[in-house]
């Protein structure tokens, strides 16, 4: 593959930004890239980024499919809180918090509720025809109340080793959460790219009217992706609450919907729907998580972190825009007019 093809690849710019961010970290913290094995667990900043970024990646994967259909899901943050709250509530009521069976029931209940909430979103959007941003706004606002209701306005703390595994544990030297993300990503990639789900989703997002006339049953597809998105958020909610062994109805998953949407956009999926890229989304989520880490390591004053983050995000988005790059390049070297008409057509190098 030649250099031009690499630069044209749609994942080039997000990847370049990620590398740049990592390089900045290495500059400020020389040992940043080192990963070491301690007590059978891998440790290091890179592992931390993956571990803390796991819930965001999960939510962003679900969000990618929703956005591909031309929709959006604002309620994922609330679903994160609800799922964690319900699981923790169930576990605090257990006689033995260490019982694996009890924890599994809690997980099942939490994910079941998340799935149900997602179905509600899907029905509001595809069945009733409410605009996605409004339909999911309902659950975004109401969901916080539901989470508070579950926790009775308190922060529920649990002390359960099996539950701690989900977000804070290790398996085969790796953080368990990272393994869950890998599994969800693999399943999603299989369903969308090996099966024909991806084509149908992109078609529905790309032109809903034409898709209907081509015989695609878009209603079922749309309900499915909202349910899937909520399920991903539910799993993320378990991770978040498991990592801190507590459920906070107010702050768990706060603003994660915005980070997830941002990750999808940085990954090159258009908010207008159509083409989507799971790999891009994962890269985008990693960029955001690395950025958060970077802000701490290079000692940006905490009160200005959000501003700094915003500036970097704007820069990333501009870099990704072909129109902007062209403008910026043209300003630097205004090409003289009238390229010779007889010039040979550009030789295409096979990739």
Quick check: 21 and 294 in contact, CB under 8 A?
yes
Q: Residue 302 carries which DSSP code?
A: G
Closest to another protein by CB, 155 vs 191, is 191
Binding test (CB under 8 A) with another protein, winner from 149, 199, 306, 307 = 199
Q: What mask, x for binding another protein by CB under 8 A, covers residues 269 to 308? A: -----xx---------------------------------
- Binding letters toward another protein, positions 203-222, x by CB under 8 A: x--xx-xxxxxxxxx---x-
Cα-Cα-Cα-Cα torsion 174, 176, 177, 182, nearest 10 degrees, comes to 70
Residue 240 and residue 52 in contact, taking contact as beta carbons nearer than 8 Å: no
Q: Among 39, 95, 194, 336, which residue interacts with another protein (rule: CB under 8 A)?
A: 194
Spatial contact of 20 and 12, defined as CB atoms under 8 Å apart? no
Task: Give the count of alpha carbons within 13 A of 150, CB side only.
Answer: 30
Q: Phi and psi for 171 in degrees, rounded to 5?
A: -150, 130
Residue from 18, 46, 181, 200 touching another protein (CB under 8 A): that is 200
CA distances from 55 to 62, 245, 324 (A): 11, 15, 32
- Min CB(329)–another protein separation in Å: 13
Minimum distance, C-beta of residue 66 to another protein, in the bound complex (Å): 16
Which of 3, 172, 323, 341 is close enough to bind another protein by CB under 8 A?
Answer: 341
Does residue 129 interact with another protein by CB under 8 A? Answer: no
In terms of Cβ atoms closer than 10 Å to its own Cβ (0-12, 13-18, 19+), residue 163 is: buried
- Which residue among 19, 196, 315, 328 contacts another protein (CB under 8 A)? 196
Residue 271: helix, strand or coil by DSSP?
A: coil
The span from the CA of 250 to the CA of 261, in Å, is 21
* Residue among 113, 104, 102, 43 nearest 80 (CA): 113
267 near another protein (CB under 8 A): no
Here's the x/- map for another protein, 319-338, by CB under 8 A: it reads as: ------------------xx
Tell whether residue 346 is a contact of another protein (CB under 8 A). Answer: yes
Q: Which is nearer to another protein, 30 or 345 (CB)?
A: 345
Quick one: which segment of 160-168, 188-196, 278-286, 292-300 binds another protein (CB under 8 A)? 188-196
Q: Residue 248 is inside which H or E element, if any?
A: strand 246-248
Q: Please give the residue ranges that form the binding site for another protein (CB under 8 A).
A: 191, 194-197, 199-200, 202-203, 206-207, 209-217, 221, 274-275, 337-341, 343, 345-346, 348
């Amino acid at each position: 593959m030649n250099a031009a093809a690499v630069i044209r690849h749609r994942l080039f710019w997000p990847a370049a930004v990620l590398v740049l961010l990592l390089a900045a970290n290495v500059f400020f913290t020389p040992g940043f890239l080192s990963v070491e094995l301690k007590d059978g667990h891998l440790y290091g900043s890179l592992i931390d980024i993956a571990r803390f970024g796991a819930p965001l990646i999960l939510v962003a994967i679900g969000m990618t499919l929703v956005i591909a259909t031309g929709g959006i899901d604002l309620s994922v943050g609330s679903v994160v809180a609800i799922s964690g709250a319900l699981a923790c509530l169930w576990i605090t009521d257990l006689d033995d918090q260490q019982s694996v069976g009890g924890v599994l029931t809690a997980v099942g209940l939490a994910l079941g509720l998340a799935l149900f909430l997602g179905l509600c979103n899907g029905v509001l959007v595809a069945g009733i025809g409410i605009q996605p941003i409004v339909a999911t706004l309902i659950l975004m606002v109401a969901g916080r109340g539901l989470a508070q209701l579950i926790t009775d306005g308190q922060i529920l703390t649990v002390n359960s080793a099996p539950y701690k595994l989900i977000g804070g544990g290790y398996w085969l030297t790796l953080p368990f959460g990272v393994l869950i993300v890998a599994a969800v990503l693999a399943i999603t990639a299989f369903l969308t790219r090996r099966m024909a789900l991806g084509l149908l989703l992109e078609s529905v997002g790309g032109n809903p009217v034409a898709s209907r006339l081509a015989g695609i049953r878009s209603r079922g597809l749309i309900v499915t992706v909202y349910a899937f998105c909520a399920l991903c958020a539910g799993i993320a909610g378990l991770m978040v609450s498991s990592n801190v062994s507590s459920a906070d109805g107010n702050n768990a998953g706060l603003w994660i919907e915005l980070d997830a949407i941002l990750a999808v956009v940085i990954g090159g999926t258009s908010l207008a729907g159509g083409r989507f890229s799971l790999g891009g989304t994962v890269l985008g989520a990693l960029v955001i998580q690395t950025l958060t880490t970077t802000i701490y390591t290079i000692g940006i004053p905490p009160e200005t972190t959000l501003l700094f983050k915003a500036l970097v995000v704007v820069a990333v988005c501009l870099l990704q825009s072909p129109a902007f790059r062209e403008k910026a390049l043209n300003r630097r070297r205004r090409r003289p007019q009238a390229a010779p008409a007889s010039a040979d057509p550009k030789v295409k190098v096979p990739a």
